[in-house]
Amino acid sequence: MKSAVEQLARYKSVHLDPRNIGTHFIGVPLILWALMLLLASLDFRLGAEGHRLSVAMLLTPVVLLYYFRLHWRLALGMTLVFLPLLLSAEWMTQTPHLIATASGAFVVGWLFQLLGHRYEQAKPAFLEDLSQLLIGPFFLMAEVYFKCGLEQSLAQAITPLALARRQALDKAHRQGLS
């Protein structure tokens, strides 16, 4: 498993423009919530009383465990984000427009993502590595921590790696155009 530094540096390498990061603070939560809504709508019943258990209820602890293995302090923040998303998604399963709401949030979220990458002039990280889809929310939490003056050693570790990776990506792109 790649370390938090490796994962965050890879993600940051295509998220250096503040406008791109700003659009991600809208797009990523919308996409995450849309996925939670859809996963909350997939459920099954347990035991004789038929207690409801959704796929979202099952996957959320798995994702959080992954984040805790990467960096426990950032994972604490992620837990504070994931719990309201999960609770609101579970509550929304009782509404008649769940699929339309999830679809709308998903599309709008991706529009913000695409706008951000237009500013950045770099492809999204997940196009090269699908695991980066899980790192997006984690990266945003790291950015919040950094802005609050927390985890500065982590910021100092990932930034030079991200810049070096971005230079290599830009060089490869320029050579591909020649």
pLDDT in tens, 75-84: 999 999 999 9
Between CA 139 and CA 12 the distance in angstroms is 8
- Scanning the chain, the segments in alpha helix (DSSP H) are 4-12, 18-41, 55-70, 72-92, 98-120, 132-147, 152-177
Residue 156 exposed, middle or buried by CB count within 10 Å (0-12, 13-18, 19+): exposed
Total of domains in the chain: 1
pTM recorded for the entire structure: 0.91
Q: Closest Cα to residue 73, out of 158, 156, 151, 159?
A: 151
- Residue 6 has what pLDDT? 96
The rounded percent of the chain whose pLDDT value lies above 90 is 78
- Residue 177 has what pLDDT? 67
SS3 148: coil
For range 18-26, the mean pLDDT: 97
SS3 52: strand
For range 86-95, the mean pLDDT: 92
Domain membership of residue 169 as a residue range = 4-177
Q: Which helix (H) or strand (E) holds 13?
A: none
Q: Are the C-beta atoms of residues 81 and 137 closer than 8 Å to each other? A: yes
Between CA 71 and CA 66 the distance in angstroms is 9
What is the pLDDT of the chain when averaged over all its residues?
93
Look at 9 and 45; give whichever has higher pLDDT: 9
Between CA 81 and CA 127 the distance in angstroms is 25
pLDDT at 112 over 60: yes
For range 89-102, the mean pLDDT: 92
What pLDDT band is residue 44 in, cutting at 50, 70 and 90? confident
